[in-house]
Amino acid sequence: MVRTKNIRIQGTARARIFRGIFATGLIYTLFQNDSFAQSTTFAQLDLDRMMKGMLSGKTQEQEEERAFLEDSAARGKAKSQAELASRLYDEGNLAEARKLWTMAAKQGEVNSQINLGILLEEEGNIAEAKGWYLKAMEQEDSRGSNNLGLLLEKEGKIEEAVELFRKSAEEGDAHGQYNLGRSFEQQGKDALARVWFKRAAEQDHLQAKQKLRLFGLF
């Protein structure tokens, strides 16, 4: 089963630390140069700010951007709330992520509706998750159809699930196409299964490609 997610995954801590160490070494080298060392105290202040940013894993520009994002979210901007929630989720702050996604979702921000549904589902709150997937479906979002279909499939409501997979698939969602193909395969309808696996594979869906290999078609 493949669930559509929107939650982003950012770079690793190792990559950020490595860049910080490299930049620190570069600045240290410059300050050993006599002509550079004669710069005004403003240069030292800039260095102090840069060093603080490196130790925190963030540059001054990133800190300013984060502050702007937090301010925009606090003023009720749904897109900013959605973006900040995704970052907080990446940082492990699920409570704040849920709070911001809820605020944005209530304003109709569809990515937040999907992400909030996924988060609630992971926490075992299936009824609320369904509600947000339905809200996304009302905005013609194919991810909502696919994710709701998976929940219904788990409950044994196969016919309803297949119809939702079909809706998602016909709207062009690769996960919906894969899940529809999987449903047909389970029914022994291999010809139809191959059709939908092929469409998903054309969108670089890994599991669909693996299915086609098993059919000898990829």
> How far is the C-alpha of 85 from the C-alpha of 91, rounded, in Å?
10
pTM: 0.72
Q: Chunked in runs of 10, what are the mean pLDDT values of the chain (218 residues)?
A: 46 26 31 34 45 62 92 95 95 94 97 95 95 96 97 97 97 97 96 96 95 86
Residues 6+ apart with CB under 8 A from 64: none
Tally Cβ neighbours within 10 Å of residue 52. 12
pLDDT at residue number 2: 54
CATH numbers and ranges of domains, the chain: 66-139 (1.25.40.10), 140-218 (1.25.40.10)
DSSP string, 15-41: HHHHHHHHHHHHHHHHHTSHHHHTS-H
Do residues 117 and 7 lie in contact, with contact meaning Cβ atoms separated by under 8 Å? no
pLDDT at residue number 60: 87
pLDDT at residue number 17: 24
Element (H, E) at 105: helix 94-106
Do residues 149 and 179 lie in contact, with contact meaning Cβ atoms separated by under 8 Å? yes
Residue whose C-alpha is closest to residue 200's, from 216, 176, 165, 184 = 176
